[in-house]
Structure 1
Amino acid sequence: MVAQNTTAVELSRFPVADLELAVETHNPDGRPALLFSHGFGQTRGAWYGAAAALAKEGCRCVTFDCRGHGQSDRVADGAYRMEQFADDLIRLSKAQPEPPILVGASMGGLIGMLVAGEVRPSPFRALVLVDITPRWEPAGVERILGFMKAHPEGFADYAEAADKIAGYLPQRRERKTEEQLRPLLRQGTDGRLRWHWDPALLAGVVNDSERYQPRLLAATSKIDVPVLLLSGARSDVVSSDTVNEFLLRVPHARHVEIAQATHMVAGDANDAFTREVTRFVQDLTRCGPAESKANLQVH
């Protein structure tokens, strides 16, 4: 990693099997390459602070909106499946100038685990999982889905949306501004503002998630690239039990708990999150690809 004084940002549309994804590349000529995959109901904007900081350190940082999210296309028939998200991730990885380090939060991490365990050779150089393990705490997931389902009628204006988010994320000191909310909301023909993600996602990926858990557990045991698991100390989605089970399945993984962070680790404690990712990337850079796994067996 070599620090850069300036970093360019490129916006593009990336074609996958049946649609196009919105992609943002920070410092296109940098290396190593990092590919950021966001959580369910989020956008590439969730990574902006971390991607910008790591790009200044010399990394190529690629963020994107998953299908059905943000500015990426929605599936025409409304049928979303985990395999589609996995295929998108594989295609994006192979489009990079070198195998990227995948940074995946929540849904993005689950898809990353699935791909890292099932695809050979692995399309990733390494894996950073953000507050997700192959087995999760149902109560925490239900809380998230409850908020996502709570406002099907949308919001009258940005101020109302900011109020609801502030109530859902009381740990955040700063209230969302209209500028921050614009990428997260779409205005309908009725003038109401609704979330950027396709409502059909709730009936697709979410309802099928339990069915994928045995497959996720099996895939996780086959991950053979360096792994960093970052969990929030106040998370209700992962717990000491799910973390310990993960470490038994992936004994070479490193685990770091981020103090004061909930499930939304990057948003709650972006400086601490970025610092841990930077350390992990620096360790990988110091190690050669062949020796990186052995040298990162630290818990």
Structure 2
Amino acid sequence: MTSSFSSELVVVREGGVRLLCREWGDRGDRGGAGADVLLLHGLAGHAGEWDATARLLRDSGHRVVAFDQRGHGGSERHPGDVSRAAYVADVVAVVEELGLDRPVLVGQSLGGSTALLTAAAHPGLPRALVLVEAGPGGAGSGVQEQIGGWLRGWPVPFPSREAAAAYLGGGKEPVGEGWARGLEQRADGLWPRFDPEVMVRSLDENATRAFWDEWAAVTCPTLAVLGQGEHGGIIGGEEYAEMVRVMPWLHGASLPGTGHDLHLERPRVLHRLIVDFLDDRSRELPRSPSCLGAHSSS
């Protein structure tokens, strides 16, 4: 599978932290019609997870950028600072260095947390916020042990991409393929492009507190997209209800039959939800009360 991104760029942060960015389309391609979009992957993920969604958004007239966040992929693997503030500062740096014009911030899982915190700390930066399987609730003290144990338990090196996809997908082919694309080939097989201990440290703040004050500070139009599969997504009904109470104009959608990696399972549906949401904003429709609706796949 080819990503069809038009260019790769590197943004260098304080301390020499390199951030590898991918861009689909540019101002000339979109003819000034679409919004800039910045896509943020989740913990232990990579920018390539967004390939399908990014191509669709580009073809809809948007300039799209995704980057391997610190500690991940082709970016700096062992940054000294993996605080929430450092992740947010990286977003601001990428926006400024690449000249993104009030981008739509789209983030999945921990990338959604980063997008939320960026929108709260820099209210003039995003024109809109899209959270994919992400919210302001705390992950809980056990999350680091749980995720750290899972990451350390990968049977690496994987002998083939097919074997990696089968292990990582949990029975869902698109999910396994998406995760497997983030691996790197070495002489003895395929290895993760991250250090599990860096990933665990990246969860320090999420494990100890929630971000409701930051959620209340978000002022831009916001869409929350949730998985609704056999085991459900990570955002429960009580958390979503509180999100709506604090932000009555929140737009929401749930995708039946999907899980936490719904951006890999249903990129076309996610693309349509984002495009329709942005079209509503461009027409300046009045904000309506949120309704968490069910959307079937296409």
Asked if TM exceeds 0.5, the reply is: yes
Distance in 1 of aligned mates of 2:194 and 2:45: 8
Give the direction of change, closer, same or farther, for the CA distance of 1:257–1:203 in structure 2 (3 Å limit). Answer: closer
- Over 3 Å counting, the alpha-carbon distance change for 1:45 and 1:261 in structure 2 is same
Name the CA distance, whole Å, in 1 between partners of 2:218 and 2:165.
40
**TM-score scaled by length of structure 1:** 0.83
Alpha carbons 1:115, 1:122 under 8 Å: kept: no
TM-score (norm 2): 0.83
2:7 pairs with 1:15:
no
Distance 1:143 1:26, change over 3 A: same
CA distance in 1, matches of 2:266, 2:202: 28
Shift of 1:268: 1.4
Q: 2:45 — aligned with what? A: 42
Change (3 A) 1:143 1:277: farther
Separation in structure 2 between the aligned mates of residue 296 and residue 26 of structure 1, nearest angstrom: 32
Matches within 5 A, 1:100-249: 100-119=103-122, 121-135=123-137, 145-151=148-154, 153-166=156-169, 169-172=170-173, 176=177, 181=180, 183-187=181-185, 191-211=188-208, 213-214=209-210, 216-234=211-229, 235-249=232-246
Residue in 1 that maps onto 2:296: none
Q: Cα RMSD over matched residues? A: 2.7
Is 1:253 the equivalent of 2:250? yes
Contact 2:82 2:202 in 1 (8 A): yes
Residue 127 of structure 1 deviates from its aligned partner by: 0.1
2:61 to 58, 61, 80: 58
Partner in structure 1 of residue 294 of structure 2:
none
Query: How far did 1:297 drift?
Result: 4.9
**Partner deviation per Cα, 1:211-270 (whole Å, 9 max, x = no partner):** 3x34x1110011110000000112341111111111112211101111111011111111
Could you list the runs of 5+ residues in structure 2 that have no partner in the other structure? 292-298
Distance 1:149 1:226, change over 3 A: same
Instruction: Give 1:209 shift.
Output: 2.0
Task: Say if 2:40 and 2:106, in contact at 8 Å, map to a contact too.
Answer: yes
1:27 aligns with 2:25: yes
Cα distance in 1, alignment partners of residues 63 and 288 from structure 2? 22
Report the CA distance between 1:44 and its aligned residue.
0.8
Percent same amino acid among aligned pairs? 21
Q: Does 1:89 align with 2:91?
A: yes
Counterpart residue type for residue 101 of structure 1 = V
Corresponding residue to 2:270 among 253, 268, 273? 273
Letter in 2 for 1:279: D
Could you say what secondary structure the match of 1:184 adopts? Answer: coil
Cα distance in 2 between the residues matched to 1:92 and 1:69: 15
- 1:295 alignment partner, SS class: coil
Question: How has the CA–CA distance of structure 1 residues 94 and 241 changed in structure 2, closer, same or farther, with 3 Å as cutoff?
Answer: same
Among 70, 74, 77, the alignment partner of 2:73 is 70
The superposition leaves residues 162-210 of structure 1 with CA deviations (integer Å, 9 ceiling, x where unpaired) of 33124xx224368639xx83x4223457x24321123232341124422
1:112-160 per-position Cα deviation (integer Å, ceiling 9, x unaligned): 11121223x4311110000111115658887655432312753344343
